[in-house]
A and B are shown apart, each in its own frame.
Chain A
């Protein structure tokens, strides 16, 4: 590739990255707006809960893969972060299971 063509290619690449960041930010704002509307809809708890969890997960993944560059980085960075994430998720699941049991109710609870 000659220097002029390479420069044009780089410029196009940088512009597309800028556009991608802006589009992702707009998408995140729209999803947040939808989340806020969702909580006022007269639907069953499970459906609303599921919708909120999925929306939150989508926002989370967009930020880590696009804004935090995991999409372009070595897979080891993703593995490293997901180890922490899985351990955190497992700990949360275990704690919620353990302390949701009736015999772990605080003494002052109604």
Chain B
């Protein structure tokens, strides 16, 4: 990591690598690019089977609860804000602010997961849509479940980073580790931005 001036660290540049980008950051961007393709395939599979529903299968509009999904979307967007503030805090070496921002992000992420668990339970028990009884259910649960697993992994990662911040070994020099986690968390957010439009809102027009 290079020094931009006396006492400051340039978090966007690493002159020790041939690209000038920290290796961890490059690795994360490469992973996220590959994950784009993964989610792209899942989303298009859902959109294709949405176009050709077998007879007797309820449409998305019949089962979705747009109020709950909108609330989840808002919560995830706010968690992204808190994650950005967490990265900003560690880049300034402000551990107190980092802990508060991480805790809030974990809280918002957990609310999102809770909403998803409630939604899945509601679909199965009330709407009788399971992963096996309709192609719409199969593609829907696979897509949103995979996204939910990504959020779950993110919450575990955030929690471990929060615990690590209390050991005294997390300093401004380790900001790249928090930034990697932030990139992952924001990616989960942008995937949901696409899912919210392509899977939920399209059913209503």
Contact = CB atoms under 8 A, between A and B. Distances in A.
Contacts of A84: 32-37
Contacts of B117: none
A69 B32 CA distance: 14
Interface string B10-44: 00110000011100011001101111110111011
A18 to B, nearest CB: 7
B74 A81 contact: no
Interface in B152-196: 179, 182-183, 186-187, 189-190, 193-194, 196
**Main DSSP-derived SS at the A contact region:** helix
Nearest to A44: B205
A21 B84 contact: yes
A21 B12 contact: no
Interface string B126-164: 000000000100000000000000000000000000000
A52 B205 contact: yes
B52 A105 contact: yes
A8 interface: no
Given A6-B5, A35-B197, A109 B33 contact: no
Interface string A1-39: 001001000100010011001101100110010011011
Contacts of A40: 204
Interface residues of A, number: 57
A95 B13 CA distance: 39
Interface in A40-87: 40, 45, 48-49, 52-53, 55-56, 59-60, 63-64, 66-69, 72-74, 76-77, 80-81, 83-85, 87
20 contacts: A17-B88, A21-B84, A38-B201, A39-B204, A45-B205, A49-B205, A56-B194, A63-B80, A63-B189, A63-B193, A69-B87, A74-B12, A76-B20, A84-B34, A92-B41, A95-B48, A99-B48, A108-B54, A108-B55, A110-B55
Interface of B: 5-6, 8, 12-13, 19-21, 25-26, 29-30, 32-37, 39-41, 43-45, 47-49, 51-55, 66, 70, 73-74, 77-78, 80-81, 83-85, 87-88, 92, 135, 179, 182-183, 186-187, 189-190, 193-194, 196-198, 201-202, 204-205
